[in-house]
Structure formats: structure tokens, C-alpha cells
Structure 1
Amino acid sequence: MIVSASTSQSLASSLAAELDEPLAATEYERFPDGELCASVPEFDADSAVVVCATTTSDAHLEALQLQDAVREAGAREVTTILPYMGYARQDSAFAAGHPVSARAVARALSTGTDRVLTVNPHEESVSGFFEVPCETVDAAGQLAAPLPDLDNPVFLAPDAGARELATTVRDAHGEGSVDYFEKTRHSATEVEIEPHATDVGGRDAVLVDDIVATGSTMATAVSHLRDRDAARAFVTCVHPVLAGTARTRLARAGVEAVYGTDTIERAESNVSVAPAIADVLSK
């Protein structure tokens, strides 16, 4: 039975349809003192698949409660799917006395599950923090589906580390070249990027990354592309965080459209990762 957290209702519904599994009724309550309670009052199955994008601290608690609720209701096997794993970018201590936050939340989530699936975590190494088997699902290929017809496209990663993602989207699309920007991060909010060698003049550009958070890096990249006479610019990402005024920032930079998946449910979630997750679950 598929059990959806409040953050992953569309994805859980799509996954239930993909697997032809029932979707559990869930209830959410906040008590007067601010405490949360997520429950599955009608759960009746031997196994549960809890789907929870941990986009907030409350969502982490919700995941823990749903894991415990299905165990309490009699589930013998629990699989937890983290379409988006919050704190995954805090995969090392920033300074002496700081936590490895990704490890802390992974250990907590491990206590209530038998297996974990994550979708394109920012750092692959976070899988090793879980104390139960953890597999990663590569959903980048899904990003090619919503793209319009493109003219001699170039698929661009914002840095060298994301070239593989850009290549995956290009391969799924079927044509085009791949390149990347040189990126230097000076702080959490200050990033300097420089274009690489590819001639983008007159070509459609598709920028590909795993996460778009503030949109500042992508907006700067689009500005560089405009300076080099690129045609249209599109942004694709697995996880459309799009915090604050990110969407406005991208529009002002001249981005034609933003395409993301439903790992985080936004207006820009144009394609579902349910087929990719279902494929892994079915093996």
C-alpha cells in the first residue's frame, strides 16, 4: 500500500497508479501546542511504501510518524521513498562543532524503515549515511519529455559536476551537444560562473541541474548565453526548490520555461518520477 505524506500527494498518487497499488487514506493534525500528528487510520496491509519529500523540518517529522503509524497498524515491511531529501547538501561538517546534518536525518529515518530510495541526491555519498539499504533513482531522463521542439540544441550544466545530468537529458531528447559552465562558489549565496567553449549563437540552450534553489546561478548563466546570442533558453531540474523569488528571477533573465519533476510539487513540476521509482521498486 502506498502512503503519502502531505508533501508528496501527486507523486504518491502517480506511483500508486504506476504500480497498481492502493493509496492509503492519511490524516494530518496540528495540536494547539504546535505538535503534529500524521496518521493512517484505515491502513491494512503487510507492506507499506511511505512517500515523503522532506522539504521542511516538519516533513522529516511527518515521515517518521508515518513510518511508525504503518508499523503500529501491522506493516511487516516498510520502504521509505525520499523523492527529495532535505539536508542532503549538508553532507559534511562546516566547521568544528558543526553536525553532519545529512547523516543525522538519515540515521533517524533508518529507525522506522527496512529500505530507502532517494531520487538524484545532490551528493551520492549521502546514501551511505542510512543504516538500512539505500538505493538512488536516476530520474534525469524524465526531464526530456516536456521539452518543446528545439533548434540545434545545446544542453548545458552549470558546472562540470552536472555534465552527466546534462548528458542524460540530451540522450533522452535524442539530439544536441553537451557543455558546461565553469563555476566558482564564494559563499552560500555568491557564485561566479564563466561560460565554456561551445558556440551557442542561434541555438536553443537547455540548462540542466539536479536542484534549482534561488535561481541565481541559472539566471547568471542565461545572461551569459544572451550575451553570446543564444536563441531560446530553458531551465530543467530534477528538484524544483525555487525558493523565494527564484521563478521571477529566472523569468527576468529571459528563461522561456522551467521544467521540473514532482519530487517537489510546484507549478513547474511538468513530469513525474513515478515511472523511474516504480521500475526500481519492481526489480
Structure 2
Amino acid sequence: MTKLSVICGKASEDLGGKLAKKVNANLVKSDVRVFPDGESKITLKGNISKIKSVVVQSFYPPVDTNLIQALSMISKVKETSSEVIAVIPYMGYARQDREFLPGEVITMKVLAKLFKGAGASKIIAVDIHSLIGLKHFTIKTKNISAIPDLAIYFKKLSLKNPLIVSPDQGGKERAKEFAKQMEIDYIALDKKRDRKTGKVEIKTKKVDVVGRDLILVDDMISTGGSIINATKFLKKEKCGRVFVACTHALLMNDAGKKIKKSGVTKIVSTNTIPGKTSIVDVSNTIAKAIV
């Protein structure tokens, strides 16, 4: 009898395949047909464990499509498996974890109900944008960090007097942990974001980074506004090379090109979202959380 099966959605095929090998599980692939009106029809191909299954699916753009596919797969797998663990490498909607402005829907609260209703017994996320979002879930949740995996990559590079930089105070703890893993120092810039327009500006006046190679660390990069502003500021302060390290590289609207144009040498992200920059594999870290 198959004790463990890994079911990977179309959004996480590569990562799901790697994870199945790491945990010695039976891999079940999903065949997805999208109708002209946008509806998804999913067929799971492979043997699903009666004991325990892991459904792997990120929901990056198209967010709602990938989310519905994740919920649909969980529901189908639950018909066979006693336990269904939902691995959401990139948790879309995580920024909507509280009511910032009057009348806003707390979408993470909605997701919590949907995943429980679909049959998930546990949620595993990688570097979720805010841990507050997981507090809305009534099933077990676990957030795991990709920082050790990213740090291993950067340790192999020949960097000149490197320094970890967080583009804002909100990411200070992330920068601190990254710096600890690499055994180097860190700083956090002050930024201000207009809640209505989304415009970001750096409030920090002066930093001592002359000639130093910098690693700008963030959990996710969407449009890249924070990274671009931080890079321009740091370049004016006469720093060396600027590298960007993030777990989730959404890179919307040519953000990758814009970031490079601002003076960034290289963007390094994990395979929670597949793409040109996703060169750090987190399957081993996820495997440890499952076993």
C-alpha cells in the first residue's frame, strides 16, 4: 500500500516532482484543461494514498485560477486519503490578512474556510507575507523559511565585505536571520508607503555602505517598487554590487528588467514560483516539514 502520495498542481509541477523524490512518495500529476470561458477541468493521474497525501500548488497569477485548482485537487484527494496536507509554496492573498481601510474584505479569513471545507487537515506555507493570515485558520498551519536555502547560495559567491539590507523596517527580522545564517551584519532602511496610491519612498538619510556588496532581502517582489527605490538610494551612497534575494519572485509588469535597470547585479529567488530567477530549490525544506 502506498503510504504517501504527492499530488502536484500545474503551478508547482517542478517543485512537486522534486518534493516527491525527497519524501520517497508516489507522484500524482494533474492534467488541466482550461475552457474558453476560463473554467478549469482537472484530472488526477496516478495512485492516491489512502493514508496520507500532499497537494502542492502555489497560487501566483492567475491567482484565482491556481487557487480554485488547489481547492479542487484537495477535495478530490480527500475522497481517497484520510489525511491531506496542503503545501502552498507561495500563498496568494497573504497581504489581505486584516482590514487596513474600512470595508475591506479580509480574504485570508475566507481562504481559511475554503481550505477547511475542501478537506485539508494541515497547511504548510513558505515565507508567508504575514503570520497574522495563518491565525484565521482553524486547521493546523506551519510557516517554513527559505532563508537558510537562500543563504547557502550566497555563501558560495565571492562577495566584498557583504552586508544584508532590508528595504524596510517590516523586514528587519528577516534580514537579521539572513545575516545570522551568513555570519555577517545587516541594516534595515526606513520607507513609507502611501496606502491609497501605493507609492513608496525611502526615509533613511545616510548609511555607511561605501564599496560593500549588498544583498537586498525581501519575502516577495511584485512590482519591485521597494527594491528599486532602495537600490537607487544605496547606489547614491556609493555601495558596491547589489544583489536581490527573495523567496517569491512575482516580478509583475517587467519588474525584473526595471530592477536590473536600477542597478541590481542579479535577482535570486526560490522555486516557490517558477521563473528565470528561481534558482534556489526549497523542496528539501518542505520535505522536512512534512515528515
Corresponding residue for 1:84? 90
Letter of the 2:25 counterpart: E
Of 104, 115, 122, which residue of structure 2 is paired with 1:115? 122
Corresponding residue for 1:225? 234
Residue 21 of structure 1 and its aligned partner are, at CA, apart by: 1.4
So what's the TM-score if we normalise by structure 1? 0.94
Residue 241 of structure 1 and its aligned partner are, at CA, apart by: 1.1
> Any gaps of 5 or more consecutive residues in structure 1?
none
Letter of the 1:85 counterpart: M
> Post-superposition, which runs of at least 4 consecutive aligned residues in structure 1 deviate over 6 A?
none
1: CA distance between counterparts of 2:123 and 2:226? Answer: 31
- Counterpart check, 1:4 vs 2:3: no
Cα 1:198/1:98, change in 2 over 3 Å: closer
Residue 35 of structure 1 and its aligned partner are, at CA, apart by: 1.7
Corresponding residue for 1:278? 287
Of 46, 49, 54, which residue of structure 2 is paired with 1:49? 54
Residue 168 of structure 1 and its aligned partner are, at CA, apart by: 2.0
Letter of the 2:94 counterpart: A
SS of equivalent to 1:38: strand
- Counterpart check, 1:182 vs 2:190: yes
Aligned residues: 280
Residue 49 of structure 1 and its aligned partner are, at CA, apart by: 0.1
CA contact (8 A) 2:55 2:73 kept: yes
Q: Deviations over 1:114-162 (max 9, x none)?
A: 1111111111111111121111111112112332211101100011121
Of 34, 37, 40, which residue of structure 2 is paired with 1:36? 40
- Counterpart check, 1:105 vs 2:114: no
So what's the TM-score if we normalise by structure 2? 0.92
Residue 6 of structure 1 and its aligned partner are, at CA, apart by: 0.8
Residue 105 of structure 1 and its aligned partner are, at CA, apart by: 1.5
SS of equivalent to 1:247: helix
> Any gaps of 5 or more consecutive residues in structure 2?
none
- Counterpart check, 1:63 vs 2:67: no
Cα 1:230/1:33, change in 2 over 3 Å: closer
Identity, % of aligned pairs? 29
SS of equivalent to 2:123: strand
